[in-house]
Amino acid sequence: MESNGHISFLCLSIIFCCLCLDSVTAIDTISSSQLIKDPETISSNNGMFTLGFFSPQNTTNRYVCIWYKTRTLVVWIGNRNQPLKDSKGSFTISEDGNLVVLNATKHVIWSTNVSNISLKSNTSAQLQDSGNLVLIEDATGKIIWKSFLHPSNVFMPNMQLITNKRTGQKVEGTSWKSPSDPSFGSFSLSLERPKIPEIFIWEGTRPHWRSGPWNGIVFTGIPTMQSVYNLNGFSVLVEGDDSVQLSFSPANSDRLVLYMLDWKGKIQEMIWKNSKSQWEVLFTVQKTDCEVYGICGAYGRCSSQAKPICNCLRGFEPRNEEEWNRKNWTSGCVRKKALQCENSKVDSKSDGFLKLEKVKVPDLADWSSARSEEKCRSQCLENCNCTAYSYEAGIGCLSWSGNLIDIQQFSSGSIDLYIRVANSELDKERGATATFTIAAITVIVTLVIIVTCAYVMWKCLGRERKKRKLLLFSCCKGSAEQTNDNIIGELSQVKLQELLLFDAEKLANATDDFNYSNKLGEGGFGPVYKGKLENGQEIAVKRLSRASGQGLEEFMNEVVLISKLQHRNLVRLLGCCREGEENMLIYEYMPNKSLDTFIFDPPEHKFLDWKNRFSIIEGTARGLLYLHRDSRLRIIHRDLKASNILLDDELNPKISDFGLARIFGGHGDEDKTRRVVGTYGYMAPEYAMGGLFSEKSDVFSFGVLLLEIVSGRRNSSFYNNEQSMSLLEFAWNMWNEDNIVSLIDQYICDPVHEKDILRCVHIGLLCVQESARDRPNMATVISMLSSEIVNLPALSQPAYILKQNMLNSLSNEESQGLFSNNSATITDIQGR
Ligand SMILES: *[C@@H]1O[C@H](CO)[C@@H](O)[C@H](O)[C@H]1NC(C)=O
Ligand SMILES: *[C@@H]1O[C@H](CO)[C@@H](O)[C@H](O)[C@H]1NC(C)=O
Ligand SMILES: *[C@@H]1O[C@H](CO)[C@@H](O)[C@H](O)[C@H]1NC(C)=O
Ligand SMILES: *[C@@H]1O[C@H](CO)[C@@H](O)[C@H](O)[C@H]1NC(C)=O
Ligand SMILES: *[C@@H]1O[C@H](CO)[C@@H](O)[C@H](O)[C@H]1NC(C)=O
Ligand SMILES: *[C@@H]1O[C@H](CO)[C@@H](O)[C@H](O)[C@H]1NC(C)=O
Ligand SMILES: *[C@@H]1O[C@H](CO)[C@@H](O)[C@H](O)[C@H]1NC(C)=O
């Protein structure tokens, strides 16, 4: 009965689909002989976008436009500066092959204006599903013009803002003149400063608003972008010093999100609400006057919370007190005390810096390659022209010479700025601090006494407290007690009761009393066994080593994290068990074990052909993207490696082992840990050496993994080798010698796939570049893998020097331990 129903439903849908296809396919294209007259239209295949004639409100002028659904939003306009005065216009492909708009007397009033169209072939225009109108050379299928490269005032998914100083190419948006006049208005939107990319809105030739520098994840001058970013996946591609492009592709492509530059010069993020059939504004920039470029003049700082909103930086005073009082701040501020280096010209180092926290850093920064904050600071100090510096891991060292303009103060997020002032200003600061200190000391002494007492009491109760903490995670009945331990507090919201509780005895039965023959492997913190429940379901049981108290933290970490995550490329936790001294996690069973047993073991790895390997690479990338961006939390895995990628029966990859993963605290993009954990060979240099971890350190591990998959060799397999090259070094050398073939696993080395494999190696090498800033994020990696991004950026050297440095920085004993067992997870190297 039921299956009959299914079948007839299927038939119906097929017929229905055929009908719709029939009725729409024919009309997304205009070929050379066709003339589309007002009010005729053509629509994209998916019915989302329509190209036709349109009149804005309060005017009878006609414009050839692309609009979304029911004329709710015009996303592109052709003849925006050449309106048709009547309804007798038309558009067609002209004799020269261009798409043209004609007026009543068939004069061309607008053209796509491509000058070098070959007359040997006809051309046609097609409105694609993305809303992109393209002009195609029929004979070759080559796209010779597209509306996405000539935007009006709307920025849509997969469109790009481009600035290329070398070729002079600039793709920018321009506002309407008014709501009823779409001709070029006074505001334009473009991507600027190719070295340190930022979005600018210009009013004519004057800057009107800027986004703050891109730090690899967000634009730092938009504190609210964090959430926007999470939804919409912005990526910036920097190519060399003079070319940069920005695009965005929402993780959830079901909902259309776009950005519009309105006629008053504001950017609005709009989302189409299907339920209400209307657009909703999610987010606007320039809510406050503070966002107007340079409103407080040079050395002024704007804070929307302050009254008045403009203030001089510390150590500065208004240049013109009178104007300043009249709330005309544009004249800005001047130094109260000249810098020492200006006076003596000798001793540039006698000045100091005042720290300004959480700001949109000033415009016109210079970027330097200094790798640490200290280096950045001393570089600035040595150059008397340097008025400020800032160091942000995602960007690097920024410095300013000359006036500091457009500083905006935020209450959270963003970057710290250090402003150069004369030493005497610093002394004043210190003086003030001193008075304060004396007063504070009395308070502090009292506090210390209280705290000491409290600490002693807490110590005494420690054992009690620890027990309670365990209870919370014991998956028992879900009657979680409240504790005020901060992390635990936050995590206690996990609905552990939703997890299935397993009985220790049942698990013992399922695994034949944890029989050695059922052992699947050794996870980070204990053995993993295969088991079969009474109902026949196969499971994998991870049993925390009973002996070591160590690993308990990781165990809890894993329970909490993974129970919140759901993705087809992450391994699924079925439940857990804690009874007496037993702590166990129960996962879905993966018949194909882990990736390392597949790609590195000679008899097995020939079974993985290129298609399989590519889908493993892609799946892993998607799982990682989910962790970084799409899940409600931002999670850094910190221990991505081949043995932590499990394969299901269809060889779908699933990321496992979240014992070391960390949730990212809301604002930061990078965190620092004293305890460097992870697996040598997969660790990014900044993490291994400095304990800095971020999405980009996971990207590094992903790059290593990718190269391992393509080459079929372990990164570590090289260490025992005479030349002691790492896989990365080997790959880089082969890349430069144009000899990638010797890197590629012989079993997949087929000329048919050569181009794809080469592309993958390129992406892998991009991910392992030395500087975290240069590495793409996972969203970009996925776009690259899927060839949405066609031109990959140039490569810089990967971080393979790491090994030497690490050898030097570790004692002999430690390094021996490290390299004899280099596929195991390191859990206790102390970072700096
Ligand atoms: C069409 O355009 C041509 C050239 O711009 C102009 O001379 C002509 O008057 C226009 N016709 C109409 C009906 O507007
Ligand atoms: C087409 O190109 C010519 C010359 O290159 C230019 O003068 C004209 O303004 C262009 N027209 C459009 C609609 O871009
Ligand atoms: C026209 O010239 C541009 C730049 O010179 C080139 O990129 C493009 O391929 C040419 N188009 C055709 C149809 O030949
Ligand atoms: C271009 O299109 C016209 C009209 O459809 C046709 O007569 C002509 O043969 C085509 N030319 C080429 C080169 O295909
Ligand atoms: C159109 O005109 C009406 C009446 O003058 C006015 O209220 C409305 O705001 C105008 N709409 C636009 C978009 O200019
Ligand atoms: C503000 O001051 C500047 C000169 O410092 C002057 O050019 C400008 O007109 C003043 N603006 C207003 C609104 O008074
Ligand atoms: C400082 O600025 C002056 C004037 O702009 C310039 O001549 C000089 O070379 C600069 N010094 C350094 C170290 O950049």
Please give the full DSSP string across 328-344, using - where no structure is assigned.
--TT-EEESS--HHHHH
How far apart CA 84 and CA 512 sit, in angstroms, is 82
Nearest CA residue ID for atom 7, ligand 5: 58
**828 has pLDDT over 80:** no
Q: Which of 127-141, 252-266, 349-363, 807-821 has the lowest mean pLDDT?
A: 807-821
* Domain positions in the chain: 27-142, 154-287, 300-421, 488-586, 596-826
Query: Does the structure show a pLDDT above 60 at 114?
Result: yes
Q: Roughly how many angstroms between the first and final C-alpha of the chain, as a whole number?
A: 69
pLDDT at 609 over 60: yes
Residue nearest to atom 4 of ligand 7 (CA): 385
597 touches ligand 7 (CB under 6 Å): no
Confidence grade of residue 534 (pLDDT, cut at 50, 70, 90): confident
* Binding pocket residue ranges, ligand 5, CB within 6 Å: 57-58, 179-180
pLDDT at 701 over 60: yes
Ligand number, closest to the Cα atom of 107: 1
Q: Tell me the C-alpha distance between 667 and 480, whole Å.
A: 29
Q: Would you give the DSSP letter of residue 643?
A: G
φ, ψ (nearest 5 deg) of residue 758: -60, -40
Q: Give bridge partners of residue 526 from the DSSP assignment.
A: 523
Q: Which fold has domain 27-142?
A: Agglutinin, subunit A (2.90.10)
Least confident of 190-204, 314-328, 504-518, 812-826: 812-826
Structure tokens at 347: 């001793």
Host H or E run for residue 703? helix 695-711
Which of 62-71, 230-239, 565-574, 705-714 has the lowest average pLDDT?
Answer: 230-239
Residue nearest to atom 2 of ligand 7 (CA): 385
- pLDDT band for 558, please (50, 70, 90 cuts): low
Side chain identity at 211, as an amino acid letter? Answer: S
**How far is ligand 6, taken at its centre, from the CA of residue 295, in Å?**
11
Q: Tokens representing 46?
A: 């998916």
pLDDT of 25 reads 38
Q: ∠ CA(527), CA(532), CA(535), 5° rounding?
A: 150
Specify the amino acid at residue 245.
Q
Find out whether 255 and 247 touch, Cβ atoms under 8 Å: no
Q: What is the architecture, at CATH level 2, of domain 596-826? A: Orthogonal Bundle (1.10)
Per DSSP, 75 falls in state: E
DSSP string, 288-329: SGGGSTTTT-BTEEE-TTSSSSEEEPTTEEES-HHHHHTT--
The answer to which of 59-68, 236-245, 807-816 has the lowest mean pLDDT is 807-816
pTM for the whole structure? 0.58
**Token representation of residue 505:** 């005895």
Enumerate the active-site residues. 639
Least confident of 127-131, 651-655, 719-723: 719-723
Which runs of consecutive H residues, i.e. helices, occur in 551-609?
Answer: 552-564, 595-599, 602-605
Ligand 1 mean position, distance from CA 103 (Å):
6
Is 458's pLDDT higher than 60?
Answer: no
Q: Cα separation of 417 and 398, whole Å?
A: 9
Calculate how far, in angstroms, residue 40's C-alpha sits from the geometric centre of ligand 4: 24
Mutate to test the pocket of ligand 5, among 58, 73, 181 (most ligand atoms within 8 A of CB): 58
pLDDT band at 680 (very low <50, low <70, confident <90, very high): low
The tens digit of pLDDT for each residue in 431-448 reads 666 666 666 666 666 676
What spacing in Å lies between the alpha carbon of 259 and ligand 5's midpoint?
Answer: 24
Half-sphere exposure at residue 195, Cβ-oriented, CA atoms within 13 angstroms: 12
Weakest-pLDDT range from 115-129, 188-202, 308-322, 622-636: 622-636
Residue 4 has pLDDT above 60, yes or no: no
The answer to whether 652 touches 568, Cβ cutoff 8 Å, is yes
pLDDT for res 639? 83
Domain 488-586 = CATH 3.30.70.3270: no
Phi, psi angles (nearest 5°) of residue 718: -90, -15
Q: Which of 154-158, 338-342, 681-685 has the highest mean pLDDT?
A: 154-158
- pLDDT score for 428: 72
Q: What is the pLDDT of residue 457?
A: 60
CB atoms within 10 A of CB 83: 21
Question: Does 383 sit in the ligand 7 pocket, CB within 6 Å?
Answer: yes
| Band of pLDDT at residue 49, cut at 50, 70 and 90 | very high
- The pLDDT, as a whole number, for residue 372 is 86
Atom of ligand 1 minimally distant from the CA of 103 = 1
Ligand 6 shell residues, CB under 6 Å: 323, 328, 330-331
| Cα 761 to middle of ligand 3, angstroms | 30
Asked if pLDDT for residue 567 goes beyond 50, the answer is yes
The Cα-based distances of 115 to 77, 112, 172, 343 in angstroms read 21, 9, 21, 60
Nearest residue (CA) to ligand 5, atom 1: 58
Q: What is the pLDDT of residues 765-799, one digit of tens each?
A: 999 988 888 899 998 999 899 887 788 888 887 87
Task: Write out the DSSP string of 811-826.
Answer: -HHHHHHHHHTTTSPE
Closest by CA to 556, choosing from 640, 632, 463, 470, is 470
Position 667 confidence tier, pLDDT thresholds 50, 70, 90: very low
d(CA 257, CA 283): 11
Question: Rounded to 5 degrees, what angle do the CA atoms 430, 433, 437 make?
Answer: 135
- In tens, the pLDDT along 364-383 reads 999 888 888 899 999 998 88
CATH number corresponding to 300-421: 3.50.4.10
